[in-house]
């Protein structure tokens, strides 16, 4: 597992029903592309997060396939309509099988 | 008005927008998280009376709006990722004494003001110390742990965490008394031309700030925003590593991070920013 991976999410704590809210996510990850060589000329193996999803109460908001060209510490910003109170579930899937998760609850304003 | 004068006037008018595009400092305001307004321009400190500079300007003003925006929000500031890492290190027990930084210093709040006043004279040790030297002193003498290599990633992360506690406070390093000799040494280094290109710090950052160096804007080389997250290498960069990079770019053999020369230079350059807010970790390209 890549070391020091820490997901960070910025989401509103409350919203009115039907509000469109902005969600920001950032995860610290080296996103090693698999194209680079180390000082001895050996290929550094690919190690990236290959998928990112966000669900609200089980409904998919976004499902992203990530590729090696995506930079270190990938950042996503997107919008979602919040129909009711519930939990936002953010999930990142690492090449090595690790899964990083973060949950944010949104209350009704 | 003769023809020559008219031409000169036109040239002046034509030149005006060019000057605005030439990489000078802008007039934006740096507000952190919509709350803390930072001092990013200030009158030059008294010791700079004999220089070309009458206003000191944070490097933030020399960056593009997009880069500036990254620093205005802690979430988007990728340097804050490393501050989090530094915080984890702060609480990690290491060494033979079974202590972490937090064992003695407790909350990171206790580090408020540190970044504003270092490098600082340490009376007991009888030497000028940077934040990293002080951290290593704690590690060796209080924690019984191995010292960190100067500007090692872990050391920079903790330094950034310490700097972040002082954000918004004015830089205020002492330049007289016991540190006078080191400060003079730093000033000497600042104005000494080095390398095949025969450039001193002042050649770029005093005489030519606001101009382009290749495709990039030259700032005043202020270090109130260090450690700095650079988009070019996606990590935090220490002051001494930055100095090393600059000296290398003059095509000279450089001093080492942590050397007496760079400690003196850090004090001098920091003192040129006395009055600007501490910004670390800042975001630059």
Q: What is the pLDDT of residues A40-50, one digit of tens each?
A: 999 999 999 99
More confident residue, B221 or B9: B221
Query: Which residues in chain A have Cβ-Cβ distances shorter than 8 Å to B75?
Result: 8, 10, 24, 26
Q: What pLDDT score was predicted for residue B2?
A: 53
Place of tokens 């007039």: B27
Q: What's the pLDDT band for A108 if we cut at 50, 70, 90?
A: confident
Residue A18 lies in a domain: yes
Average pLDDT over residues B261-270: 96
Q: What pLDDT score was predicted for residue B214?
A: 86
Residue A1 lies in a domain: no
Nearest by CB to B84, which of A6, A24, A75?
Answer: A6
Q: What pLDDT score was predicted for residue B71?
A: 92
Q: Which residue of B has its CA nearest to A10?
A: B75
Residue A40 lies in a domain: no
Residue A41 lies in a domain: no
Q: What pLDDT score was predicted for residue B5?
A: 52
Residue A38 lies in a domain: no
Residue A91 lies in a domain: yes
In the residue annotation, B246 being an active-site residue is answered as yes
pLDDT of residue B19 exceeding 60, the answer is no
Total domain count, chain A: 1
Q: What's the pLDDT band for B4 if we cut at 50, 70, 90?
A: low
Residue A60 main-chain phi, psi, to 5 deg: -70, 130
Residue A39 lies in a domain: no
pLDDT of residue B167 exceeding 90, the answer is yes
Q: Which domain holds residue A69?
A: 6-33+46-108
pLDDT digits (tens, 9 = 90+) for B233-244: 888 999 999 999
Determine whether the interchain pair A28/B75 forms a contact, defined as Cβ–Cβ distance below 8 Å: no
Reading phi first (left if > 0) and then psi (alpha if -120 to 50, else beta), residue B219 is in: beta
> What CA–CA distance (Å, rounded) separates A85 from A80?
13
Per DSSP, chain A holds a count of helices (H) and strands (E) of 0, 8
CA dihedral B19, B22, B27, B32 (to 10 degrees): 180
Q: What's the pLDDT band for B278 if we cut at 50, 70, 90?
A: very high
Q: Which residue of B has its CA nearest to A77?
A: B76
Query: Which residues in chain A have Cβ-Cβ distances shorter than 8 Å to B84?
Result: 6, 8, 28
Euclidean distance between the first and final Cα of chain A, in Å? Answer: 39
3-class SS letters over chain B = CCHHHHHHHHHHHHHHHHHHHCCCCCCCCCEECCCEECCCEEECCHHHCCCCCCEEECHHHHCCHHHHHHHHCCCCCCHHHHHHHHHHHHCCCECCCCECHHHHHCCHHHHCCHHHHCCEEECCCCEEECHHHHHHHHHHHHHCCCCCCCCCHHHHHHHHHHHHCCCCCECCCCCCHHHHHHHHHHHHHHCCCECCCCECHHHHHCCCCCCEECCEECCCCCCCCCCEEECCCCEEECHHHHHHHHHHHCCCCCCCCCCHHHHHHHHHHHHCCECEECCCCEEEC
Average pLDDT over residues B147-154: 94
Q: What is the CATH number of the domain that holds A75?
A: 2.60.40.10
Q: What pLDDT score was predicted for residue B234?
A: 85
Determine whether the interchain pair B81/A10 forms a contact, defined as Cβ–Cβ distance below 8 Å: no
B82-106 burial by CB neighbour count: b if 16+ within 10 A, else e? bbbbbbebbeeeeeeeebbbbeeee
Nearest by CB to B75, which of A8, A28, A73?
Answer: A8
pLDDT of residue B225 exceeding 70, the answer is yes
Determine whether the interchain pair A26/B85 forms a contact, defined as Cβ–Cβ distance below 8 Å: no
pLDDT digits (tens, 9 = 90+) for B182-214: 999 999 999 999 999 999 999 999 999 999 988
pLDDT digits (tens, 9 = 90+) for A10-63: 999 988 888 899 999 999 888 999 999 999 999 999 999 999 999 999 999 999
Determine whether the interchain pair A73/B75 forms a contact, defined as Cβ–Cβ distance below 8 Å: no
Q: Which residues pair with A8 in a beta bridge?
A: A26
- Residues 32-51 in A contacting B (C-alpha not used; CB under 8 Å): none
Q: Tell whether ipTM is more than 0.90.
A: no
pLDDT of residue B12 exceeding 90, the answer is no
Average pLDDT over residues A83-94: 93
Determine whether the interchain pair B78/A26 forms a contact, defined as Cβ–Cβ distance below 8 Å: yes
Determine whether the interchain pair B84/A72 forms a contact, defined as Cβ–Cβ distance below 8 Å: no
> What CA–CA distance (Å, rounded) separates B258 from B279?
22
Query: Which residues in chain A have Cβ-Cβ distances shorter than 8 Å to B234?
Result: 71-73
Q: What pLDDT score was predicted for residue B11?
A: 47
* Interface membership of A26 toward B (CB under 8 Å): yes
Size (chain A), residues: 109
Residue A52 lies in a domain: yes
pLDDT of residue B13 exceeding 80, the answer is no
Q: Which residue of B has its CA nearest to A7?
A: B81
Q: What pLDDT score was predicted for residue A3?
A: 67
Average pLDDT over residues B40-50: 92
């Amino acid at each position: 597992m890549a070391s020091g991976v820490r997901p960070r999410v910025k989401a509103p704590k409350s919203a009115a029903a039907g509000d469109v809210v902005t969600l920001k996510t950032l995860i610290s990850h080296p996103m090693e592309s698999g194209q680079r060589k180390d000082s001895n000329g050996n290929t550094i193996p690919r190690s990236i997060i290959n998928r990112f999803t966000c669900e609200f109460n089980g409904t998919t908001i976004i499902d992203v396939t990530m590729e090696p060209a995506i930079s270190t510490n990938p950042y996503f910003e997107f919008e979602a309509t919040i129909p009711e109170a519930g939990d936002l579930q953010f999930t990142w899937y690492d090449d090595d099988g690790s899964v990083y998760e973060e949950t944010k609850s949104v209350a009704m304003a | 008005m003769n023809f020559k004068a008219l031409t000169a006037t036109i040239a002046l008018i034509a030149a005006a927008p060019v000057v605005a595009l030439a990489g000078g400092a802008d007039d934006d305001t740096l507000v952190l998280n919509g709350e803390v307004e930072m001092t990013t321009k200030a009158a030059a400190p008294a010791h700079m009376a004999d220089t070309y500079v009458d206003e000191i300007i944070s490097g933030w003003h020399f960056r593009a709006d997009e880069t500036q925006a990254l620093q205005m929000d802690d979430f988007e500031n990728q340097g804050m990722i490393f501050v989090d890492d530094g915080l984890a290190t702060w609480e990690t027990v290491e060494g033979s004494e079974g202590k972490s930084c937090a064992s003695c210093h407790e909350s990171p709040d206790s580090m408020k003001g540190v970044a504003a006043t270092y490098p600082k004279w340490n009376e007991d040790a009888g030497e000028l110390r940077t934040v990293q030297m002080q951290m290593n002193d704690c590690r060796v003498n209080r924690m019984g742990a191995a010292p960190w290599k100067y500007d090692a990633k872990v050391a920079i992360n903790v330094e950034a965490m310490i700097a972040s506690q002082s954000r918004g406070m004015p830089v205020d390093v002492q330049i007289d008394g016991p540190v006078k000799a080191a400060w003079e040494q730093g000033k000497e280094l600042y104005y000494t031309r080095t390398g095949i290109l025969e450039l001193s710090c002042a050649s770029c950052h005093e005489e030519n700030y606001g101009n382009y160096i290749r495709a990039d804007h030259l700032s005043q080389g202020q270090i109130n925003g260090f450690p700095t997250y650079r988009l070019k290498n996606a990590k935090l960069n220490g002051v001494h590593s930055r100095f090393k990079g600059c000296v290398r770019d003059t095509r000279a053999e450089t001093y080492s991070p942590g050397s007496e020369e760079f400690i003196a230079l850090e004090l001098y350059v920091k003192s040129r920013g006395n009055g600007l807010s501490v910004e670390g970790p800042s975001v630059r390209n």
